Structure 1
């Protein structure tokens, strides 16, 4: 990563500045973060930024092909869960890349996962502003793409999510939003966009009409900014709701639920000969289990947040899969521990999420921001980083 900026940051770092960062994050939206915030942003050098942008361009180009449209439709038939009134295109796309190093020492991004689903668009703006203010970083360091800055970024989100509607007629829909790990982003969406954060159980239905009750008054729902993850919805048999996602209703989806399945790990085996994608195959297409399973990761297709992923795969793991058509075997990538920390024996590796939006009817998606997760452990994730510092949620900064 950018060695000069890293050296300067580490030299000037103090625990007091980090506490200032946490105070800004935890008070910015009136909600404390439930996940760990890293001590540092990641300073992305120009060559890595260029590779990331190129990787995103090649992937979005595939999403425009007839081949993708044919293959993604089969994802819906496979799961047997289809929500009516699908938009022309997804509103949100995330590409998650590991920054890797090969046996020749070449550093490059490799796609770990893709999602046709929203991410922490509002929180990342708060995190950026908090890093800049807490550490007095130069303002020409930005996380945004395509000429955006803080002000134009927020206005653009309003255009995508709220549009011509009144904010009160747009709801961010989630199951028990207060209890979610991403609740801080929901608070931010309300604060920055003015929209209502609504529990799925509080969404009311009258024929094709959706509404919620606010201070004893019926408020029409015109648009749903969907944050419900279907893994959780399927597990929560205790929920009592008036609205079923398969109902025919008069509402516009901002992030239609079908795209959660259509743009996902399910898409990756169909993309061939792409230097940014590790070899990925549907498990049911593999005639012989590889002898070098230590070089692979076993993943369920339609899970979220790493649920069910097996990093240290055994023959028994593969043989015990009862529905191999719903799993992939993916070539394991080796993360580059390229971020120096105050402890020279504990450098940090990271994944970067390239966050896109796609206006309905626009010719292609737009890359607008990024999100980073840092790790000192074997893999990315909380369970690999217990009692560690300089890990957790972060953001990539670069100069245009």
Structure 2
């Protein structure tokens, strides 16, 4: 998105450099990414960065509303409420489409948000690998304002470990070895020294949780939660008998499962501004817009773009039996803003915030980018294309 840097990058790119990048990721972690990694990072111009930061802060203001718990009471599905909710989510991610305004300038538009961790471990490693194998300007940075690698790792440590020893903190997931984000789990373990534990490997005694290490029980005092709770239902038969998280347990969460629902698409209708497309709960609309083709239908309780109806019709709406669980959002036109040797790519940028227990407000820590040449953004929708996939943003100094 910075023409001279983009042109220089494309001219210096070689397939062997890309192969070395992918090999470097595997050598460092012992895991081959299960999703496509893009050939290029994204070089973000200063003006767009400033707009992203301002837009992100407006979203954070909504998350920090004093009445947020009351506002989001209906956000948690029945049967998914978990006790001992803490005061705020330790992680918040906010996704923006890169679009063009009427003047042709690049501007961000809010797509989604979540009170849930993203690839905080992997993105740090990916940025380092881009620097090692690709022509990245030395002064460009992927971290949030004022952070370097040491500050970033310390911020993650405060969020994930809290006050506990790494051996008493676990990264918890459903069947982690089969997850596409396994490489991120390994990166996190390497950064912080916490074990990756499957939900089936937890041992409960009264209100205490343990995991087994070398045949011995180790107390779990804090959970870095990477579980999407719907997976517990999806894999119920395979998982067998597991801990009932609806019971009160003597454990801390980072982030508590309830925040996955509270800070989610549920908040889109409450966020306003030039960066926020209009959004409504479907059941609160007295009539559908006449230009329905300019909107998208999003289910509240879905992940990674699943269930989204990009080109809705009245017939789609009529078939929805639970309109209270759907959002109608103004459609966003992604800009083909990144020139590649095989055609222009669209871009979505994720701002990744950390909010330690002892911090007054969230801190922008890291970012993630997705490049696409198809109708849908996301690494699952561009498998047979090149110069697309997961990436990192390097911000102009």
1:109-156 Cα distance to aligned partner (Å, 9 max, x none): 011000000000000011000000002533321110121112221222
**C-alpha distance in structure 1 between counterparts of 2:216 and 2:254, whole Å:** 24
CA apart distance, 1:191: 1.0
3-state SS, counterpart of residue 31 of structure 1: coil
Partner of 2:46: 46
Answer whether contact 1:102 1:334 (CA < 8 A) is retained.
no
**C-alpha distance in structure 1 between counterparts of 2:219 and 2:235, whole Å:** 26
Partner of 1:55: 55
Q: How does 1:1-400 map to 2 (within 5 A)?
A: 1-76=1-76, 79-238=78-237, 239-272=239-272, 274-343=273-342, 346-382=343-379, 384-400=381-397
**C-alpha distance in structure 1 between counterparts of 2:23 and 2:180, whole Å:** 18
Alpha carbons of structure 1 residues 79 and 275: separation in structure 2 relative to 1, 3 Å: farther
The answer for unaligned runs of 5 or more in structure 1 is none
The answer for unaligned runs of 5 or more in structure 2 is none
3-state SS, counterpart of residue 236 of structure 2: coil
1:73-104 Cα distance to aligned partner (Å, 9 max, x none): 3323x544211111111110000000112444
Q: RMSD over aligned Cα, in angstroms?
A: 1.4
CA apart distance, 1:361: 4.4
3-state SS, counterpart of residue 110 of structure 1: strand
**C-alpha distance in structure 1 between counterparts of 2:379 and 2:121, whole Å:** 22
Alpha carbons of structure 1 residues 155 and 363: separation in structure 2 relative to 1, 3 Å: closer
CA apart distance, 1:383: 5.5
When normalised by structure 2's length, the TM-score is 0.96
Answer whether contact 1:120 1:185 (CA < 8 A) is retained.
yes
**C-alpha distance in structure 2 between counterparts of 1:43 and 1:236, whole Å:** 40
Answer whether contact 2:347 2:370 (CA < 8 A) is retained.
yes
CA apart distance, 1:64: 1.9
**C-alpha distance in structure 2 between counterparts of 1:372 and 1:221, whole Å:** 33
CA apart distance, 1:382: 4.4
Answer whether contact 2:304 2:378 (CA < 8 A) is retained.
no
CA apart distance, 1:226: 0.5
3-state SS, counterpart of residue 47 of structure 2: helix
**C-alpha distance in structure 1 between counterparts of 2:136 and 2:106, whole Å:** 26
When normalised by structure 1's length, the TM-score is 0.96
**C-alpha distance in structure 2 between counterparts of 1:384 and 1:304, whole Å:** 14
| Number of matched pairs | 396
Answer whether contact 2:35 2:380 (CA < 8 A) is retained.
no
1:216-271 Cα distance to aligned partner (Å, 9 max, x none): 11111011000011222222221223311111111111110000000000011122
CA apart distance, 1:380: 0.8
3-state SS, counterpart of residue 66 of structure 1: coil
1:174-197 Cα distance to aligned partner (Å, 9 max, x none): 010000010000111111110010
**C-alpha distance in structure 2 between counterparts of 1:278 and 1:68, whole Å:** 21
CA apart distance, 1:62: 1.8
Answer whether contact 2:379 2:390 (CA < 8 A) is retained.
no
**C-alpha distance in structure 2 between counterparts of 1:178 and 1:242, whole Å:** 18
1:283-333 Cα distance to aligned partner (Å, 9 max, x none): 001122223221111010011111111111121111100000000011000
Alpha carbons of structure 1 residues 383 and 84: separation in structure 2 relative to 1, 3 Å: closer
Answer whether contact 2:115 2:260 (CA < 8 A) is retained.
yes
